[in-house]
């Protein structure tokens, strides 16, 4: 067992891969808590797919890939907001139009641009090929994102749970929403080389959904999502080494497995405990579940 754990870490590329995978997964997981609570999961998918043309244009003009990806991520957010606000189209329709159009533009640019970067690396990530410079960039962007999320944690939580109250007490809900979307774009850039455009969407949704099934308070939810994502990164990297399979895919599958366990066995919200409680619930003479007396009388619970 010790050899199974130590042998992969003898190679520098595996050390870089493990560090980058853990950092990217934890950052995505923390942001996913807000995305899940606010119903912005589809927005995460939109931003992740919309950065493809920015990556290609950054390569053409010789600027950092992260800059091009971030610019097009923010462009997607602005276009979605502009179309939703300036027409009768629903928000999800605007998201679908913008991200599919930008993603198609990216595919066209890739097909016409000679590049040493393969499309599969952009779409699915290439964490085993990450350099020390890429690792430092990932760590820097991840640290900045986490610092902002934790610094403005209470404001973001209030925005997620009660936007009207947040506005009433003087918070700029519009600015907070834009900042959260900017952090979404930055997180996508951070995780691009580790997970790729397609798989980063999963890590922006699944950890938060897993933690939501297990927790009732937001603080523990953040901790559970981050630890769950870190464990998935470690499992995924080791599995890719020993089984010779996709690293990004292994990470996402490990996270999906944790979600499945939480969905089935979470103490309060899991399917199995809910079915067990339903069977144990006392029934009335007519075979219906017995209702508490305060509900039968339509009055407030004395407790």
Q: What is the pLDDT of residues 209-252, one digit of tens each?
A: 999 999 989 999 999 999 999 999 999 999 999 999 888 889 99
Residues 255-268, buried b or exposed e (16+ Cβ, 10 A)? Answer: beebbeebeeebee
CA dihedral over 265, 266, 267, 269, signed as positive or negative: negative
**pLDDT digit string (tens) for 280-298?**
876 544 555 555 534 433 4
Can you tell me the distance from the alpha carbon of 197 to that of 185, in angstroms, rounded to the nearest whole number? 12
Element (H, E) at 69: helix 65-85
pLDDT in tens, 67-121: 888 899 889 988 988 887 777 788 888 888 998 999 999 888 888 876 655 666 7
Q: Which domains does the chain have, with CATH numbers?
A: 1-196 (1.10.3470.10)
């Amino acid at each position: 067992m010790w050899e199974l754990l130590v042998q992969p870490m003898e190679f520098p590329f595996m050390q870089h891969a493990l560090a980058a995978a853990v950092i990217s997964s934890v950052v995505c997981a923390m942001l996913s808590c807000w995305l899940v609570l606010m119903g912005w999961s589809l927005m995460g998918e939109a931003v992740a797919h919309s950065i493809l043309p920015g990556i290609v244009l950054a390569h053409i003009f010789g600027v950092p890939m992260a800059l091009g990806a971030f610019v097009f991520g923010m462009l997607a957010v602005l276009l979605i907001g502009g179309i939703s606000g300036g027409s009768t189209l629903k928000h999800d329709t605007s998201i679908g139009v913008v991200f599919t159009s930008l993603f198609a533009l990216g595919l066209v640019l890739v097909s016409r641009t000679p590049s040493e970067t393969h499309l599969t690396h952009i779409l699915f990530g290439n964490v085993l090929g990450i350099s020390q410079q890429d690792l430092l960039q990932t760590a820097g962007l991840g640290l900045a994102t986490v610092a902002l999320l934790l610094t403005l944690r209470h404001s973001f939580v209030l925005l997620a749970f009660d936007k009207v109250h947040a506005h009433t007490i003087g918070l700029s809900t519009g600015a907070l929403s834009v900042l959260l979307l900017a952090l979404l774009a930055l997180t996508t850039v951070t995780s691009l080389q580790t997970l790729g455009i397609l798989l980063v969407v999963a890590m922006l949704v699944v950890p938060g959904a897993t933690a939501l099934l297990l927790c009732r308070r937001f603080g523990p939810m953040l901790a559970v999502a981050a630890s769950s994502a870190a464990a998935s990164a470690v499992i995924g990297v080791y599995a890719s080494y020993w089984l010779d399979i996709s690293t990004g895919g292994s990470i996402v599958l490990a996270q999906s497995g944790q979600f499945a366990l939480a969905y089935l066995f979470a103490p309060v919200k899991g399917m199995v405990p809910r079915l067990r409680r339903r069977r144990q619930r006392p029934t009335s003479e007519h075979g219906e579940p017995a209702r508490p007396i305060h509900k039968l009388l339509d009055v407030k619970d004395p407790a």
